[in-house]
């Protein structure tokens, strides 16, 4: 599969852009465990134009994690075009436009999935960004705003017509947020459309290697993008790739190895953020979901999530390794 001239091979597995998740330490781990393409946290176009330090740090890309795309969002065409020009100087492999984020603070203000309520403006914005940059431009979006406006098949054609190089589709409407089950039926119809020549990337509820292979076969997508299922488990990419390409079934992890991987992410985050308190808080989202099925784990888990120091988190992780040394991670 190619995005522009970028060759990602057959059936690539991508890391979805996620705010406060897909930073450099996490992306490096996902790359280590087989992700073929990754995205930065999505960034606000206005913050990019104003060159806000925290935002500019989010678009930092290290050589060892490439290929990486930078995703931008906003509701006005001019600042989005200007932001695209600025992020291009960070030399991402692609520039991605966020027309899919459903959260109120973004979609409610007309950006992200909010753009699905003004399709002419969405198309014009995309066209102007494509014209303004040299990097391939891609789009990530949803089936529509709600059940009465699932226009993704026609929208995909119009986006292709103005020059995007790939389209990622999440199988829910904005109204659904992240509730219910992702419906890939319309994603499959986009892929089946004989007018479509660009890669179609499926996204939504890919939580296992088995489901990834099933959806590749059932819906014919060119690539799959994994988001929330990678939180606390960046090695899901290795499991998916091994099963999809080689038929190797995922194996449970010995707790000692699981803890080692979690510790690696934690230490990298400490180094990257340079602020112990912020790093500990940042990692709680991952720590809250990474150990599943351990017997009588609740008390230790709560204690770990209440720790405010790096040493306290390390102590809890070491205690997990010792207490459950004969156990395997349950999925």
Q: Which residues does the annotation mark as catalytic?
A: 101
Q: How far is CA 206 from CA 237, 275, 289, 327, in A?
A: 11, 33, 16, 26
Q: How far is CA 197 from CA 9, 45, 192, 193, 224, in A?
A: 16, 29, 10, 9, 17
Query: Which two three-digit tokens encode residue 33?
Result: 């465990």
Q: How far is CA 325 from CA 37, 99, 264, 318, 322, in A?
A: 34, 45, 18, 10, 5
**Contact in structure between 67 and 37 (CB atoms under 8 Å):** yes
Query: Which two three-digit tokens encode residue 331?
Result: 């999925």
**Contact in structure between 172 and 39 (CB atoms under 8 Å):** no
CA distance 51 to 56: 6
For 53, residues 6+ apart whose C-beta sits below 8 A from its C-beta are none
Query: Which two three-digit tokens encode residue 74?
Result: 């906003």
CA distance 79 to 143: 25
**Beta-strand (E) ranges in the chain?**
2-3, 6-7, 13-15, 38-39, 43-44, 68-73, 94-99, 137-142, 166-170, 200-203, 223-226
CA distance 269 to 70: 20
């Amino acid at each position: 599969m190619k995005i522009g001239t970028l060759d990602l091979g057959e059936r690539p597995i991508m890391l979805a852009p996620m705010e406060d998740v897909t930073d450099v330490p996490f992306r490096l781990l996902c790359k280590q465990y087989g992700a073929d393409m990754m995205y930065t946290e999505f960034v606000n176009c206005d913050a990019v134009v104003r060159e806000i330090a925290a935002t500019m740090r989010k678009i930092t890309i290290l050589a060892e994690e490439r290929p990486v795309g930078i995703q931008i969002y906003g509701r006005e065409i001019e600042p989005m075009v200007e932001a695209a020009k600025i992020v291009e100087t960070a030399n991402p492999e692609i520039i991605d436009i966020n027309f899919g984020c459903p959260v109120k603070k973004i979609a409610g203000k007309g950006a992200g999935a909010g753009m699905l309520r003004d399709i002419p403006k969405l198309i014009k914005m995309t066209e102007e960004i494509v014209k303004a940059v040299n990097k391939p431009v891609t789009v990530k979006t949803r089936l529509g705003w709600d059940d009465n406006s699932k226009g993704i098949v026609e929208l995909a054609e119009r986006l292709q017509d103005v020059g995007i190089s790939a389209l990622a589709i999440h199988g829910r409407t904005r109204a659904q947020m992240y509730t219910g089950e992702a419906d890939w039926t319309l994603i499959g119809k986009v892929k089946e459309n004989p007018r479509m020549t660009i890669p179609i990337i499926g996204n939504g509820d890919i939580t296992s290697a088995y489901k990834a292979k099933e959806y590749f076969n059932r819906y014919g997508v060119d690539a799959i993008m994994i988001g929330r299922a990678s939180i606390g488990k960046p090695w899901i990419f290795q499991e998916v790739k091994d099963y999809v390409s080689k038929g190797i079934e995922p194996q449970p992890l010995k707790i000692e190895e699981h803890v080692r991987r979690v510790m690696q992410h934690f230490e990298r985050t400490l180094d990257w953020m340079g602020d112990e308190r912020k790093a500990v808080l940042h990692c709680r989202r991952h720590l809250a979901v990474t150990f599943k099925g351990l017997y009588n784990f609740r008390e230790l888990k709560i204690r770990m999530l209440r720790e405010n120091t790096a040493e306290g988190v390390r102590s809890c992780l070491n205690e997990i390794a010792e207490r459950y040394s004969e156990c395997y991670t349950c999925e």
